[in-house]
Copies of this chain bind each other. A is one copy, B any other.
Amino acid sequence: MDDASPPKWHLAHTTWFFETFILKSELSGYRSVDERYEYLFNSYYNGVGNPFPRPKRGYLSRPTVAEVMDYRESVDEQMETLLGSENPDVVSRVILGLNHEQQHQELLLTDLKYNFGNNPLYPVYRERAEENPAGSADMTFVSFDGGISAIGGPEGFGFDNEYPCHEVLLQPFALADRLVTNGEYLEFIQDGGYERAELWLSEGWATVLDDAWSHPLYWRAVEGEWFEYRLDGLSRLDPHLPVVHASAHEAFAYATWKGVRLPTEFEWERAAQDLDVEGTFVESGRYHPGHCPESGGLIRQMYGDVWQWTGSSYGPYPGYKTLPGTLGEYNGKFMSSQLVLRGASCATPRDHARLTYRNFFYPADRWQFSGIRLAKGLPE
């Protein structure tokens, strides 16, 4: 798939980020390990020149993994000389580089899962962890008043797209207290969900027809029974786990079928503001292969299980400013045709998750650990 890159590429690209945006400007006389890496491992920064085509990353049999590890080591060594810097610009770019690498830690897993999940051998990436999904209790909806809420603008680190803090006016709404499960999603399939045009957005229905969608990305029907490919191998589908690797189109169709809708990103953030986040994390944060069982709390599974599609288009907050220079290409230029996901998945590094984080993908994308949380307006 054009969007997925091999592990070696992620390893090199995250190192390239430090080299390009810090070493080259901060270390006078810095000499690149290999000048051609600037081209090979540029993801999409036009300001650094024309990047190597994304769909062809998988064809690069050279540099080898060993050469990439050497590259990392060399850049790491140079970076160490800068880690004590008190130059605030350097500090902020180092922090950005670390957060960037954390994003790629997750992408490396989702891309690897895509590669393995489409290999008929279904390779096992890691051993199966013990699981004790307690059984999914009935889904209930938690009500929130309308009114003005402050959105975005985290005190600690945040990407530029999370700023500035600003106020939005919400109507009263209710949010589901847990994620939609495999078992619930299966009912949608069994009710003809993938054959009923009226449940889908027009683009979604076109994708269902063009790509012959009939189930989430990694579900496999084997002799009349449902299995799911997970990082621990092909497993019998567990009806109590959250459905994962659903696109926004599937999330939308499911919600329509249930007579409800997806939350906006503002509703999600408003609801999450009331959570004891730390507490939530303790319970949900078991990093299971592929997805994670539910957690306790008034509204559970906000972080650490699956990203949750919102109905909100990914756009700029009022007064949004991109980072200066080429780093300004980090987020802002993708603000068209994508939707925001909120939360964090079991593949997200734990301290990378936060209240104001705005993940974004196209509505047909489903190779991320993306799932479904429902919402509705009040009164209904």
Chain A contact residues, CB within 8 Å of chain B: 6, 34, 36, 39-40, 44, 46-47, 52, 56, 58-63, 115-116, 118-121, 123, 148, 166-169, 171, 197-198, 200-205, 248-249, 252, 261, 311-313, 315-316, 318-319, 328-329, 333-337, 339, 363, 377
Contact = CB atoms under 8 A, between A and B. Distances in A.
A204 B311 CA distance: 23
Contacts of A197: 46-47
A128 to B, nearest CB: 18
Contact of A46 (B169, B205, B335): B205
B318 A315 contact: no
A2 to B, nearest CB: 12
Contacts of A56: 118
How many chain copies does the complex carry?
4
Nearest to A47: B198
B120 A52 contact: yes
User: Which 7 pairs across A and B sit closest by C-beta, in order of nearness?
Assistant: A313-B313, A46-B197, A169-B169, A202-B333, A337-B337, A62-B123, A171-B318
B115 A201 contact: no
A52 B58 CA distance: 18
A334 B200 CA distance: 10
B39 A119 contact: no
12 contacts: A40-B121, A46-B205, A47-B197, A58-B58, A60-B119, A61-B119, A62-B123, A201-B334, A201-B336, A312-B315, A313-B315, A318-B377
A333 B58 CA distance: 32
B363 A337 contact: yes
A46 B335 CA distance: 31
B61 A59 contact: no
Contacts of A335: 201
Most buried by B among A171, A248, A333: A333
A204 B332 CA distance: 13
Contacts of A116: 61-62
Contact of A319 (B248, B329, B377): B377
Contacts of A6: 61
Contact of A201 (B58, B319, B333): B333
Nearest to A173: B318
A1 to B, nearest CB: 9
Contact of A198 (B40, B60, B115, B329): B329
A147 to B, nearest CB: 10
